[in-house]
A and B are shown apart, each in its own frame.
Chain A
Amino acid sequence: MKKYAYFPGCSLEKMALSYHDSALETTRTLGVELEELEDWNCCGATTYFHLDEILANTLVARNLAIAEKQGLDFVAPCSACYKNAYFTNKYIKEDAELAEHINYALEADHLQLSGDLTVHHLIEVFVDEIGTEEIKNKVSNSLNELRVAPYYGCQIVRPRKNGENVEDPQFFEELLAAMGADAIDFAYKTRCCGGSLLLTNRHAALAMIRLLLQNALDSGAEVIATTCPLCQVNLECYQTQVNEEFGTDYSVPILYFTQLLGLALGTSPKKLGFGKELISATPFLSKHLVKEAK
């Protein structure tokens, strides 16, 4: 059983508990172990890097160094955590001076970082490590052409890895197809959800959310699947406010991709954190899943 150092980040154990639960359930079903990183700290999120780059990198490096010490590759389910971890790991390799600074600081904690470990986003564990073919074989409860908008968000494709197509990535679509779902052609799939803009410019942030919801609906989506807790919160929790602001009538369920995958793998909805959502996906899910039950 392949094992990874799992970095839940600040959201997964509270706001995004359904992501956490479904991530652990699905990986277990597919024979992968996520071992929570010991004594982890904040990833620096969106603001710290703008205030003090060296300290922010050091903060991230501490998490990476713990994983390196355990000899495990690093997995983050949150796109922001992933992006920060990925770049710090990369900079450590490329910038000897930065590496020296950081390792000097890490010494206080008896840690050090070489940057030799690999940083994955959780979805990469499924797509690249397990593989969609393997997943397809394990699907017992096909999603039966449920029309899903694959919402990558903006940060997951920021590291341009090995000439990956960052403007029109396809791996999420492939994963959804493996579950039997119908991944719709979602033009705005890599657009920003607004991140923390809601705190500083509410109107602009709501307009961004509205754009995503409208484009997903225009493209025929029944539900939107996300890979990031902040995207999920913005898209789901603020739909009422978007409706108030723009006089719209959105009611689009926003689910974590792991929740959909769990269903496809035959895990009970309860174990996947269903029941916590503000906008229920049950009408759509039952429509598609019932057929399978026959």
Chain B
Amino acid sequence: MSEKIGVYVCHCGTNIAGTVDVEQVAQWAGSRLKERGVIIARDYKFMCSSLGQELIEKDIKELGLTRVVVAACSPHLHELTFRTACAKAGLNPYLCELVSIREQVSWVHTDKEAATTKAQAVVAGGVERVAYNESLEPLKVPIHADTLVVGGGIAGIQAALEIADAGYHVYMVEREPTIGGHMAQFDKTFPTLDCAACILTPKMVQVGSHPNITLSTWSEVENVDGYVGNFTVTVRKKARYVNTDSCTGCGICWEKCPKKVVDEVYEAGFGIRKAIYTPFPQAVPKYPVIDKENCIYFIKGTCKACEKFCPTEPNSINFEQEDEVIEVQVGNIILATGYDLFDAKRIPQYNYKKLDNVFSSLEFERMCNASGPTNGNIVLRDGKTAPKAVGIVHCVGSRDKNYNTYCSSICCMQSLKFAHLVMERTDAEVYNFYIDMRTNFKDYEEFYQRILEEGGHFVRGKVAEVTDAVRFPGEEGKLIVQVEDTLIGKQRRIPVDMVILSAAMEPRHDSKEVGKQFGIACGAAGWYIERHPKLDPVATMTDGIFIAGCVQGPKDIPATVSQGAAAAARILGRIQQGEIALEPIRATVNEEQCSGCRICNDLCPFNAILFHENTMVSEINPALCQGCGTCVAACPAGAISGTGFSNEQILAQIDGLLLLNVGDETIPA
């Protein structure tokens, strides 16, 4: 054994030392592992402190260490710290191995003696492994300065403007005919009761007119190739059947269009639009689209009213228009595709879509909106009767193990806002049915107090059902909210005229497929997984792909905007670096051994494996590979090896772990 290995055991205060006898572990490693190349073994209170790091640096320089093993926390936390320390002392950082005796030992055990023995095994595993570590050099790739933002809601808008204002180009792709997202559907925002459109539309206009932003609405990303710094993205621009060069957005076409269609997207099924339409007057861009499914011309072959009345020269309607597929080169991508509203029909006992006056939260947003189907009047489904009593049901599809276990985080505040609007615009009594009131964040609790003072009623209990089945006199013609009022310990039946269901936020119905397209993963609930839940909430495990807003989890507008800005800041930093160093831990295919079975192709979570049809072998793109090792383990021919995770390293580590079990016999090298 020619390596000179240093072992450093961290106390982590009492985090490790409370359960593991770290001094003994260090002493044991210094004596028992001497023949394995360990020439020095130390313990220290906080290895990650600058004094701890200096200890390692000093030993490398003075003792000529060729390998370092640090037994401390998870590599997720401090691997970089110790690698950097080694590099400072002139040792290749990949010759340093961090083994976890905190997350995998001290935090999960209580028996000190057994935990100490296990820590020794873990250290021995690290020592055996590190001998096989190779010096690696990070791969540097240039960063393309353009950015793709997918989704034109408030998260995407904020991100795009931040980047564009800094002088870099942004491509924004939006599936709907206009940007604006859910925020454009709202009337007021909590807790300030700002007019949502008044604060949103100026930003939409900025996006539409910004010289650094190329906006593609009515478009979808079809394919993503490449890797951080160097993505090639294919975008399908669906045919609008409207020539945007000549269209002025005058609106005569949709005025004259004879076909009325229920608008399931912007009006949440509550209002109508025409077959040629822009979803709302402030739409950006202003050009309409023809909804081919519903257009009379496309169905029956005659009509063309829009074309006849179009006043522009040349005529802007073009029924022959076809989808256009474009390719863009970008260095980074932000996914800001938002959320879907929980379909309240899934809870049959609330009778949504069965009883007329049960509304979803988005329907009610549209009802409150001055430009909505009722011009902002709060009325029953008949369009004229003002309600005398309104019930607002919280947590519909949230915090419910039958649907979504998570809290959608905005519904309490949204419901309070609804209560305020009902009381402001009608004489109705308002009942909020809540499980817990969650009004954290700035000025939210004050808003709750305000609604209490305004006379809103609050009933703590999960609503059992909303029904029109009469049980007692006085219930005729009403919707009855059956609820256990847990504050008074009684069942109550509260007759109301209108019920609003504060439905949950859910991941987009196609979030899994979209995630796969971009090479990022969804958690159990379907939200995209951030690189670190606390310290890196807008990055993902795939370099160059960032997330912002509700794709990462339910959140309100301020949090969404913050994430949009944060993702932009991360990308701007990247762009300014000009190039990025990639972890050299990655897999490679031995072409000689590859049988072309393609098992690895689909397993790769990062879409890093390419199959060459001509030579019938797979190849791994080193810039895309994250070194997860899935393909290495899966390859039936053993043709894939991973740097940092070679068979020799893994087998040696297992030998080391078993060192304690084989007694005093020397393990085979």
Contact = CB atoms under 8 A, between A and B. Distances in A.
Interface of A: 165, 167-168, 187-188, 211, 214-215, 218
B636 interface: no
B471 interface: yes
Nearest to B351: A187
A215 B470 CA distance: 8
B347 A211 contact: no
Looking at A165, A187, A211, A214, which has the most chain B CB atoms within 10 Å of its CB? A187
B348 interface: yes
Contact of A167 (B349, B468, B469, B471): B349
Interface of B: 347-349, 467-471
B467 A218 contact: no
Looking at A165, A168, A211, which has the most chain B CB atoms within 10 Å of its CB? A168
A204 B53 CA distance: 75
B469 A215 contact: yes
Given A165-B348, A167-B348, A187 B467 contact: yes
Nearest to B402: A160
Contact of B347 (A167, A187, A188, A214): A167
9 contacts: A167-B347, A168-B348, A187-B467, A187-B468, A211-B469, A211-B471, A214-B470, A218-B469, A218-B470
Contacts of B471: 211
B469 A188 contact: yes
Given A167-B348, A187-B467, A187-B468, 5 more contacts: A165-B348, A168-B349, A187-B469, A211-B471, A218-B469
Interface SS of chain B: loop
Contacts of B470: 214, 218
Looking at A167, A188, A218, which has the most chain B CB atoms within 10 Å of its CB? A167
Looking at B469, B470, B471, which has the most chain A CB atoms within 10 Å of its CB? B469
Contacts of A214: 470
A238 B347 CA distance: 33
B178 to A, nearest CB: 36
A221 B339 CA distance: 42
Contacts of A187: 467-469
A65 B467 CA distance: 43
Nearest to A168: B348
Counting from the closest, the 4 A-B pairs by CB-CB distance are A168-B348, A167-B348, A187-B469, A167-B349
A167 B346 CA distance: 10
A45 to B, nearest CB: 26
Nearest to B468: A187
Contacts of B469: 187-188, 211, 215, 218
Contacts of A188: 469
B68 to A, nearest CB: 47
B287 to A, nearest CB: 43
Nearest to A210: B471
A276 to B, nearest CB: 31
Contacts of B348: 165, 167-168
B501 to A, nearest CB: 15
A211 B468 CA distance: 13
Contacts of A167: 347-349
Contacts of B349: 167-168
Nearest to A185: B354
Contacts of A218: 469-470
A246 to B, nearest CB: 12
Nearest to B349: A167
B173 to A, nearest CB: 35
A184 to B, nearest CB: 13
A96 B81 CA distance: 48
A188 B480 CA distance: 14
A39 B434 CA distance: 52
Contacts of B347: 167
Contacts of A215: 469
A214 B348 CA distance: 21
A142 B467 CA distance: 32
B503 to A, nearest CB: 16
A167 B464 CA distance: 11
B237 to A, nearest CB: 39
Nearest to A187: B469
Nearest to A186: B469
Contacts of B467: 187
A159 to B, nearest CB: 14
